[in-house]
Amino acid sequence: MIPTTREDPSDAELISHKLLVRAGYIRKLAAGIYTYLPLGLRVIKKIEDIIRVEMAAAGATELLLPIVIPAELWKESGRWDVYGKELLRFKDRGEREFCIGPTHEEVITDLIRREVKSYRDLPKNLFQIQTKFRDEIRPRFGLMRGREFLMKDGYSFDVSEEMALQTYKRMYDAYTNIFKKCGLDFKAVEAATGTIGGTYSHEFHAIASSGEDTIFHCSKCEYAASHERALTVKKRLLDEANELLKATPPSEGSFEYVETPNVKSVKDVSSFLKVSESDIVKTLIYKLVLPSEKEQYIAALISGDDELVEPKLILSLFQAGIIPSMDVQISMASEDEIIKLTGAPAGFSGPIGLPDEVVVVADYRIYLKDKFVTGGNKKDMHLKSVSWQNCRIQLFADIRKARDGDECPVVSVGADGNEIPCDGKLIEKRGIEVGQVFYLGTKYSDKMNAVFLDEKGTQQKMVMGCYGIGVGRTAAAIVEQCHDDKGIVWPLAVAPFECHLIALYDKEGHVEYMANDIYLGMLEANIDVLYDNRYVRPGVKFVDADLIGIPYQVIVSAKSIEDGMVDLKERATGKMERMDVQDAINKIAEAIKCLQEQF
């Protein structure tokens, strides 16, 4: 059941999507919903096995939680209302509300709070590998962004932050091993925490130009972060800016109004006033809804040539004590709200003259600017020659999106106690997120009252972490990295089979006889072998074999068997060598053994 085709699926943009369909690994049933054909399932099982071995080594135990989850648990955590349309909700025949679990923090926390009473029962570290469903608004890229998808999700419960961070580190290391074993070129990067919540997270990205995400890493040190997290300024410099800010009372300044009729965007202002985009400061008005339901407006100032990163804004506000929690909903203020707050339509917002209730935060690059142009808070008006001292700024923060070539933000401490600023530069790459680890703290144990009695008999909240791997997406990411113009080139560890036995039948049946024998010999040598015993032309077999991408091809022809030989071809290099049957088997068996020992 390996239905190869020569045509790309019409909806495929990514090479992995095209190749996995064409080589007979997957088939689409509906948007974002795929069947794993036998070859596809074999790759999945290889990846799952790698995951299971590493999880066991890291002390995590496998269980299987239900797919169908009662709404009550999601209401308890508060996510029933927050989670959008991705959450598939339904009522059963008794009109009770349920959802299909896109993630299982609630279910596992409910299980653990029932079963665990004492510190003696902790830590717990549990995982499952399960089909999940998220009703993505735009499913695409084959397995990369599906609605139904296979996921490994794990959850840990510890007695303290210290222990939980140790578990986090162990999971981080296990994930590193898993993706290494899968043969991926990947980076673990600091990440924002998103819907899952929590305060600390790393994403694992497979490096690929087709990746949906942008990540940064330092050219010299170990620093790496997602674009939602990557810092652009060293902390000491930011602290200095804020110290100066505190010491500097806002001043009136000598700015002047300039008419800018219907000129709103940075680009238009730049050409209208004949200034560069970096001479302009954008004022973005955000509305935050806090956990208390209280609303807070923020004016965020950012250089005209920069992009603001919302998670960095939230993190900065939280770290500066301006908001009490990172668990906030953020959105751009509406046109009506902007008019009400600034007195002018969107496009003319500026920092000067805003109501006191609006918190003004400026990106660090504003601090470096001398004079700049801002909105005038009047229709069709901008301000010129503004300096940051005129702007009632409450905080300088690192809220812009990093760029390739930015300075590395890291400062390490040397053996002599002195600070050593890293002089590396940030390098921008595209990545496919294949895994993520979260330190959750007590986010869920607070809401769901997951407690235990400590050694003194005092009730404590469990400290949690959660850890996910997109299993199908990992398979697709491997294909993004491992292919050539002929097809897939699987790494041995995750290949659906280790060897592809290709028999070029002769009329006399000699080849068939020999090939059958070689097949049995390979099975005896514990080689996973796919036997192409179809009665089709050699060309079809060769093209299919390269497309399917099994690491070793063994070709049996009438010519080769005259001398008891076969042709052994390495898919990756294309190198073909004629050799004795047993030598070929030994060579493949040796490579498999090597791989196992290496792990």
Binding footprint of a second copy on the chain (CB under 8 A): 1, 3, 27, 29-30, 33-38, 40-41, 44, 61-70, 85, 88, 90, 92-93, 96, 98, 100, 107, 110-111, 114-115, 120, 124, 126, 130-131, 133, 135, 137, 147-148, 535
Report the nearest approach of a second copy to the CB of residue 64 (Å).
Answer: 4
| Contact of 363 with 306, CB cutoff 8 Å | yes
Report the nearest approach of a second copy to the CB of residue 119 (Å).
Answer: 13
Report the nearest approach of a second copy to the CB of residue 17 (Å).
Answer: 16
Distance CA 387, CA 401 (A): 22
Report the nearest approach of a second copy to the CB of residue 49 (Å).
Answer: 12
The CA R_g of the chain, rounded to the nearest whole Å, is 29
| Contact of 341 with 333, CB cutoff 8 Å | yes
3 state SS of 77 = helix
| Sequence-ordered list of residues with C-beta below 8 angstroms from that of 219, at least 6 positions apart, any chain | 408, 424, 425, 426, 427
Return the amino acid letter for 413. V
Report the nearest approach of a second copy to the CB of residue 444 (Å).
Answer: 16
Report the nearest approach of a second copy to the CB of residue 543 (Å).
Answer: 18
Return the amino acid letter for 501. L
Distance CA 532, CA 22 (A): 17
Give how far Cα 393 sits from Cα of 313, 338, 360, 431, 514, Å: 14, 18, 5, 35, 82
Distance CA 479, CA 489 (A): 7
Distance CA 190, CA 224 (A): 6
Report the nearest approach of a second copy to the CB of residue 382 (Å).
Answer: 41
For residue 311, cis peptide bond before it (omega within 30 degrees of 0): no
Sheet containing strand 552-556, strands side by side = 529-532, 499-503, 552-556, 565-570, 576-580
Choose between 137 and 413: whose C-beta lies nearer to a second copy.
Answer: 137
Report the nearest approach of a second copy to the CB of residue 67 (Å).
Answer: 6
Choose between 142 and 311: whose C-beta lies nearer to a second copy.
Answer: 142
| Contact of 170 with 55, CB cutoff 8 Å | no
Choose between 117 and 559: whose C-beta lies nearer to a second copy.
Answer: 117
Distance CA 461, CA 487 (A): 52
Choose between 63 and 244: whose C-beta lies nearer to a second copy.
Answer: 63
Choose between 6 and 274: whose C-beta lies nearer to a second copy.
Answer: 6
Choose between 106 and 407: whose C-beta lies nearer to a second copy.
Answer: 106
Choose between 131 and 449: whose C-beta lies nearer to a second copy.
Answer: 131
Distance CA 325, CA 567 (A): 64
Choose between 206 and 471: whose C-beta lies nearer to a second copy.
Answer: 471
